Structure 1
Amino acid sequence: MDTHVRLEPWGEDDFWLLERKNTPEMTAHLGGPETAEKLASRQRRYAAMSAGAPEAGRMFKVVLVETGETAGSVGYWPRVWDGEDVYETGWGVLPEFQGRGVAVAAARAVVAHVGALDAARAVHAFPSVDHAASNAVCRAAGFRLLGTTDFEYPPGHWHPTHNWRSTPPPP
Protein backbone atom coordinates (compact mmCIF):
# COMPACT_ATOMS: atom_id res chain seq x y z
CA MET A 1 0.00 0.00 0.00
CA ASP A 2 1.30 3.45 -0.93
CA THR A 3 2.09 6.01 1.69
CA HIS A 4 -0.39 8.82 1.17
CA VAL A 5 1.31 12.08 0.32
CA ARG A 6 0.25 15.44 -0.98
CA LEU A 7 2.39 17.78 -3.01
CA GLU A 8 2.55 21.39 -1.84
CA PRO A 9 4.19 24.11 -3.94
CA TRP A 10 7.64 25.14 -2.80
CA GLY A 11 7.51 28.41 -0.87
CA GLU A 12 9.65 31.22 0.45
CA ASP A 13 9.78 29.53 3.89
CA ASP A 14 11.09 26.16 2.67
CA PHE A 15 14.82 26.88 2.74
CA TRP A 16 15.09 24.70 5.86
CA LEU A 17 14.31 21.63 3.73
CA LEU A 18 17.20 22.38 1.37
CA GLU A 19 19.48 22.72 4.39
CA ARG A 20 18.26 19.40 5.85
CA LYS A 21 18.88 17.61 2.56
CA ASN A 22 22.35 19.16 2.06
CA THR A 23 24.29 16.37 3.78
CA PRO A 24 26.96 14.05 2.39
CA GLU A 25 24.53 11.11 2.64
CA MET A 26 21.65 12.90 0.88
CA THR A 27 23.85 14.36 -1.87
CA ALA A 28 26.26 11.46 -2.47
CA HIS A 29 24.82 10.81 -5.95
CA LEU A 30 24.33 14.50 -6.76
CA GLY A 31 27.85 15.85 -6.53
CA GLY A 32 27.98 16.37 -2.76
CA PRO A 33 26.78 19.13 -0.46
CA GLU A 34 26.35 22.61 -1.90
CA THR A 35 27.71 25.88 -0.56
CA ALA A 36 25.43 28.31 1.26
CA GLU A 37 25.41 30.51 -1.86
CA LYS A 38 24.33 27.64 -4.10
CA LEU A 39 21.60 26.66 -1.65
CA ALA A 40 20.30 30.23 -1.58
CA SER A 41 20.28 30.29 -5.39
CA ARG A 42 18.45 26.95 -5.47
CA GLN A 43 15.86 28.30 -3.01
CA ARG A 44 15.22 31.31 -5.29
CA ARG A 45 14.85 29.00 -8.33
CA TYR A 46 12.47 26.64 -6.55
CA ALA A 47 10.29 29.49 -5.25
CA ALA A 48 10.24 31.08 -8.73
CA MET A 49 9.22 27.75 -10.28
CA SER A 50 6.22 27.61 -7.94
CA ALA A 51 5.22 31.14 -8.90
CA GLY A 52 5.62 30.64 -12.66
CA ALA A 53 3.77 28.79 -15.36
CA PRO A 54 3.38 25.05 -14.56
CA GLU A 55 4.76 24.16 -18.01
CA ALA A 56 8.09 25.62 -16.86
CA GLY A 57 8.31 23.06 -14.05
CA ARG A 58 7.50 22.89 -10.37
CA MET A 59 9.13 21.98 -7.11
CA PHE A 60 7.00 20.58 -4.33
CA LYS A 61 7.31 19.70 -0.70
CA VAL A 62 6.18 16.13 -0.08
CA VAL A 63 3.81 16.17 2.88
CA LEU A 64 2.46 13.11 4.67
CA VAL A 65 -1.33 13.27 4.64
CA GLU A 66 -1.70 11.43 7.96
CA THR A 67 0.57 13.72 10.02
CA GLY A 68 1.18 16.89 8.00
CA GLU A 69 4.93 16.34 8.27
CA THR A 70 7.17 17.44 5.42
CA ALA A 71 9.04 14.33 4.35
CA GLY A 72 11.03 15.63 1.36
CA SER A 73 10.72 17.18 -2.06
CA VAL A 74 9.93 16.25 -5.64
CA GLY A 75 9.80 18.25 -8.83
CA TYR A 76 9.75 18.30 -12.59
CA TRP A 77 11.28 20.57 -15.20
CA PRO A 78 11.28 20.62 -19.00
CA ARG A 79 14.18 19.36 -21.08
CA VAL A 80 14.81 17.97 -24.52
CA TRP A 81 15.97 14.35 -24.43
CA ASP A 82 16.87 12.49 -27.62
CA GLY A 83 15.09 15.18 -29.63
CA GLU A 84 11.84 14.88 -27.64
CA ASP A 85 10.27 17.44 -25.29
CA VAL A 86 10.01 15.66 -21.93
CA TYR A 87 9.99 16.50 -18.26
CA GLU A 88 12.77 15.37 -15.96
CA THR A 89 11.96 14.55 -12.36
CA GLY A 90 13.93 14.18 -9.18
CA TRP A 91 13.18 13.71 -5.49
CA GLY A 92 14.75 13.60 -2.07
CA VAL A 93 13.27 12.10 1.08
CA LEU A 94 14.59 12.97 4.52
CA PRO A 95 16.34 10.05 6.27
CA GLU A 96 13.68 9.58 8.94
CA PHE A 97 11.04 8.99 6.25
CA GLN A 98 13.06 6.73 3.96
CA GLY A 99 12.02 3.11 3.46
CA ARG A 100 8.32 3.92 3.96
CA GLY A 101 7.20 4.32 0.32
CA VAL A 102 7.28 8.12 0.43
CA ALA A 103 9.52 8.52 -2.62
CA VAL A 104 7.44 6.05 -4.66
CA ALA A 105 4.22 7.88 -3.74
CA ALA A 106 5.83 11.25 -4.53
CA ALA A 107 7.12 10.04 -7.90
CA ARG A 108 3.68 8.69 -8.80
CA ALA A 109 2.06 11.94 -7.68
CA VAL A 110 4.38 14.10 -9.77
CA VAL A 111 3.80 11.89 -12.84
CA ALA A 112 0.03 12.26 -12.31
CA HIS A 113 0.48 16.03 -11.96
CA VAL A 114 2.39 16.18 -15.24
CA GLY A 115 -0.23 13.98 -16.89
CA ALA A 116 -2.95 16.43 -15.94
CA LEU A 117 -0.82 19.25 -17.34
CA ASP A 118 0.36 17.62 -20.58
CA ALA A 119 -0.68 14.00 -21.13
CA ALA A 120 1.52 13.70 -24.21
CA ARG A 121 4.81 14.53 -22.47
CA ALA A 122 6.78 11.72 -20.85
CA VAL A 123 8.59 12.02 -17.53
CA HIS A 124 12.20 10.81 -17.25
CA ALA A 125 14.37 10.14 -14.22
CA PHE A 126 18.15 9.70 -14.42
CA PRO A 127 19.47 8.13 -11.19
CA SER A 128 23.09 7.02 -11.06
CA VAL A 129 23.50 3.37 -12.01
CA ASP A 130 24.88 2.68 -8.52
CA HIS A 131 22.03 4.45 -6.67
CA ALA A 132 20.04 1.35 -5.80
CA ALA A 133 17.36 3.19 -3.80
CA SER A 134 16.43 5.69 -6.54
CA ASN A 135 16.44 2.98 -9.19
CA ALA A 136 14.11 0.93 -6.98
CA VAL A 137 11.82 3.96 -6.64
CA CYS A 138 11.64 4.28 -10.42
CA ARG A 139 10.77 0.61 -10.81
CA ALA A 140 8.14 0.66 -8.06
CA ALA A 141 6.61 3.91 -9.35
CA GLY A 142 5.99 2.35 -12.77
CA PHE A 143 8.83 3.86 -14.76
CA ARG A 144 10.28 1.73 -17.56
CA LEU A 145 14.07 1.33 -17.81
CA LEU A 146 15.22 2.39 -21.28
CA GLY A 147 18.92 1.78 -20.73
CA THR A 148 22.08 3.40 -19.46
CA THR A 149 23.39 6.76 -20.58
CA ASP A 150 26.06 9.27 -19.63
CA PHE A 151 24.38 12.20 -17.89
CA GLU A 152 25.75 15.57 -16.82
CA TYR A 153 24.92 16.54 -13.24
CA PRO A 154 25.98 18.67 -11.65
CA PRO A 155 27.12 20.76 -14.63
CA GLY A 156 30.56 19.70 -15.74
CA HIS A 157 30.33 16.23 -14.17
CA TRP A 158 29.38 13.30 -16.39
CA HIS A 159 28.49 9.92 -14.94
CA PRO A 160 26.60 6.78 -15.96
CA THR A 161 22.90 6.84 -15.13
CA HIS A 162 19.85 4.78 -15.85
CA ASN A 163 17.26 6.39 -18.12
CA TRP A 164 13.79 5.66 -16.72
CA ARG A 165 10.64 6.79 -18.53
CA SER A 166 7.08 7.08 -17.30
CA THR A 167 4.30 8.17 -19.60
CA PRO A 168 1.75 10.09 -17.53
CA PRO A 169 -1.70 8.57 -17.33
CA PRO A 170 -4.49 10.51 -19.02
CA PRO A 171 -6.21 13.05 -16.75
Structure 2
Amino acid sequence: MPQRSSNDVFIKHNFDNHDGEVPVWATVEVLSFGMLSKIIKNLKTGTGSSYFILASNYQYKSKKGNLVKPSQKMLTSWIQGVSVLRNMCAHNSRIYNRTIHTTPEILDVDKITPPPAHNGLYQILLAMKYLRSSDEEWIVFVDAFDKLIQNNSDVVGLTAMNLPTDWKDHLSV
Protein backbone atom coordinates (compact mmCIF):
# COMPACT_ATOMS: atom_id res chain seq x y z
CA MET A 1 0.00 0.00 0.00
CA PRO A 2 1.32 3.52 -0.82
CA GLN A 3 2.59 5.67 2.00
CA ARG A 4 1.38 9.19 2.77
CA SER A 5 4.14 11.61 3.76
CA SER A 6 2.07 14.75 4.41
CA ASN A 7 0.04 15.56 7.51
CA ASP A 8 -2.15 18.09 5.67
CA VAL A 9 -5.83 17.30 6.21
CA PHE A 10 -6.75 17.52 2.53
CA ILE A 11 -3.90 15.18 1.54
CA LYS A 12 -4.87 12.71 4.27
CA HIS A 13 -8.53 12.86 3.16
CA ASN A 14 -7.72 12.17 -0.49
CA PHE A 15 -5.18 9.47 0.36
CA ASP A 16 -7.51 7.66 2.78
CA ASN A 17 -10.66 7.95 0.65
CA HIS A 18 -9.23 7.26 -2.80
CA ASP A 19 -7.04 4.18 -2.42
CA GLY A 20 -3.84 6.15 -1.90
CA GLU A 21 -4.48 8.35 -4.94
CA VAL A 22 -4.04 12.08 -4.47
CA PRO A 23 -5.14 14.43 -7.28
CA VAL A 24 -2.47 16.59 -8.86
CA TRP A 25 -4.11 19.83 -7.60
CA ALA A 26 -3.69 18.57 -4.02
CA THR A 27 -0.14 17.40 -4.61
CA VAL A 28 0.94 20.75 -6.05
CA GLU A 29 -0.35 22.47 -2.89
CA VAL A 30 2.37 20.79 -0.82
CA LEU A 31 5.27 20.97 -3.30
CA SER A 32 8.19 23.27 -2.62
CA PHE A 33 9.25 25.77 -5.30
CA GLY A 34 12.41 23.73 -5.76
CA MET A 35 10.51 20.52 -6.37
CA LEU A 36 8.10 22.31 -8.71
CA SER A 37 11.01 23.66 -10.79
CA LYS A 38 12.47 20.14 -11.04
CA ILE A 39 9.13 18.73 -12.20
CA ILE A 40 8.76 21.43 -14.85
CA LYS A 41 12.35 20.87 -15.96
CA ASN A 42 11.53 17.20 -16.58
CA LEU A 43 8.20 17.62 -18.41
CA LYS A 44 8.06 16.53 -22.02
CA THR A 45 7.88 19.39 -24.48
CA GLY A 46 6.19 19.77 -27.84
CA THR A 47 2.78 20.78 -29.08
CA GLY A 48 0.00 19.49 -26.84
CA SER A 49 2.38 18.42 -24.06
CA SER A 50 1.88 19.33 -20.41
CA TYR A 51 4.74 21.80 -20.70
CA PHE A 52 3.23 23.40 -23.81
CA ILE A 53 -0.06 23.95 -21.97
CA LEU A 54 1.70 25.31 -18.87
CA ALA A 55 3.95 27.66 -20.85
CA SER A 56 0.89 29.09 -22.62
CA ASN A 57 0.01 30.81 -19.33
CA TYR A 58 3.34 32.68 -19.31
CA GLN A 59 3.53 33.99 -22.86
CA TYR A 60 5.33 37.26 -23.46
CA LYS A 61 5.71 39.67 -26.37
CA SER A 62 8.86 39.38 -28.44
CA LYS A 63 10.68 42.38 -29.90
CA LYS A 64 8.58 41.92 -33.03
CA GLY A 65 5.37 41.95 -30.98
CA ASN A 66 4.64 38.23 -31.33
CA LEU A 67 3.40 36.17 -28.38
CA VAL A 68 6.09 33.69 -27.38
CA LYS A 69 5.98 30.83 -24.89
CA PRO A 70 9.02 30.71 -22.59
CA SER A 71 11.46 27.89 -23.16
CA GLN A 72 11.54 25.17 -20.54
CA LYS A 73 14.95 26.39 -19.42
CA MET A 74 13.66 29.96 -19.10
CA LEU A 75 10.51 29.08 -17.14
CA THR A 76 12.44 26.79 -14.80
CA SER A 77 15.03 29.52 -14.20
CA TRP A 78 12.25 31.92 -13.18
CA ILE A 79 10.79 29.47 -10.69
CA GLN A 80 14.22 28.58 -9.33
CA GLY A 81 15.11 32.27 -8.89
CA VAL A 82 11.90 32.93 -6.95
CA SER A 83 12.58 29.79 -4.90
CA VAL A 84 16.05 31.03 -3.94
CA LEU A 85 14.70 34.45 -2.91
CA ARG A 86 11.86 32.84 -0.95
CA ASN A 87 14.33 30.64 0.93
CA MET A 88 16.59 33.59 1.69
CA CYS A 89 13.65 35.55 3.10
CA ALA A 90 12.33 32.54 5.06
CA HIS A 91 15.72 32.17 6.74
CA ASN A 92 16.13 35.90 7.40
CA SER A 93 19.11 36.11 5.06
CA ARG A 94 20.32 39.43 3.77
CA ILE A 95 19.23 40.25 0.20
CA TYR A 96 20.49 43.84 0.13
CA ASN A 97 23.94 44.48 -1.39
CA ARG A 98 24.45 40.83 -2.13
CA THR A 99 25.23 38.63 -5.11
CA ILE A 100 22.52 36.02 -5.49
CA HIS A 101 23.92 32.88 -7.04
CA THR A 102 21.08 32.04 -9.37
CA THR A 103 20.44 33.72 -12.64
CA PRO A 104 16.89 33.71 -13.95
CA GLU A 105 16.82 34.28 -17.68
CA ILE A 106 15.31 37.66 -18.40
CA LEU A 107 13.59 38.89 -21.52
CA ASP A 108 15.60 40.97 -23.98
CA VAL A 109 13.46 44.04 -23.25
CA ASP A 110 14.58 43.91 -19.59
CA LYS A 111 18.31 43.48 -20.21
CA ILE A 112 20.29 46.51 -19.17
CA THR A 113 23.47 47.99 -20.62
CA PRO A 114 26.02 47.75 -19.24
CA PRO A 115 25.07 44.44 -17.66
CA PRO A 116 25.20 44.42 -13.87
CA ALA A 117 28.49 43.49 -12.23
CA HIS A 118 26.74 40.76 -10.24
CA ASN A 119 23.43 38.93 -10.09
CA GLY A 120 21.01 40.29 -7.60
CA LEU A 121 17.51 41.24 -6.77
CA TYR A 122 16.72 42.80 -10.17
CA GLN A 123 16.71 39.53 -12.09
CA ILE A 124 14.60 37.75 -9.47
CA LEU A 125 12.09 40.59 -9.31
CA LEU A 126 11.72 40.28 -13.08
CA ALA A 127 11.17 36.52 -12.72
CA MET A 128 8.44 37.31 -10.20
CA LYS A 129 6.90 39.74 -12.70
CA TYR A 130 6.93 37.10 -15.44
CA LEU A 131 5.24 34.59 -13.10
CA ARG A 132 2.72 37.03 -11.59
CA SER A 133 -0.78 35.75 -10.99
CA SER A 134 -2.44 39.05 -11.86
CA ASP A 135 -1.50 42.51 -13.05
CA GLU A 136 -3.41 44.11 -10.18
CA GLU A 137 -1.49 42.25 -7.47
CA TRP A 138 1.80 42.99 -9.22
CA ILE A 139 1.02 46.72 -9.44
CA VAL A 140 0.33 46.77 -5.70
CA PHE A 141 3.65 44.99 -5.06
CA VAL A 142 5.68 47.36 -7.25
CA ASP A 143 4.07 50.42 -5.65
CA ALA A 144 4.79 49.08 -2.14
CA PHE A 145 8.39 48.27 -3.15
CA ASP A 146 8.81 51.77 -4.59
CA LYS A 147 7.48 53.34 -1.37
CA LEU A 148 9.86 51.19 0.68
CA ILE A 149 12.80 52.43 -1.40
CA GLN A 150 11.65 56.06 -1.19
CA ASN A 151 11.06 55.90 2.58
CA ASN A 152 14.57 54.53 3.08
CA SER A 153 16.42 56.47 0.38
CA ASP A 154 18.89 57.78 2.94
CA VAL A 155 20.24 54.26 3.55
CA VAL A 156 19.18 52.26 0.46
CA GLY A 157 20.98 52.45 -2.86
CA LEU A 158 19.65 51.13 -6.16
CA THR A 159 23.06 49.80 -7.23
CA ALA A 160 23.38 47.81 -4.00
CA MET A 161 20.16 46.03 -5.01
CA ASN A 162 21.41 45.62 -8.57
CA LEU A 163 18.55 47.82 -9.83
CA PRO A 164 18.94 50.08 -12.85
CA THR A 165 17.76 53.67 -12.48
CA ASP A 166 14.72 52.85 -14.65
CA TRP A 167 13.86 49.72 -12.63
CA LYS A 168 10.22 50.75 -12.22
CA ASP A 169 9.77 50.89 -16.02
CA HIS A 170 11.04 47.29 -16.25
CA LEU A 171 8.88 46.05 -13.39
CA SER A 172 5.71 47.80 -14.60
CA VAL A 173 3.05 45.86 -16.47
Q: TM-score, normalised by structure 2?
A: 0.33
Q: Which has the higher strand share?
A: 1
Richer in helix (by share)? 2
Given the two structures, how large is their TM-score scaled by the length of structure 1?
A: 0.34
Larger radius of gyration: 2
Instruction: With a CA cutoff of 8 Å and minimum separation of 6, indicate the structure with the bigger relative contact order.
Output: 1
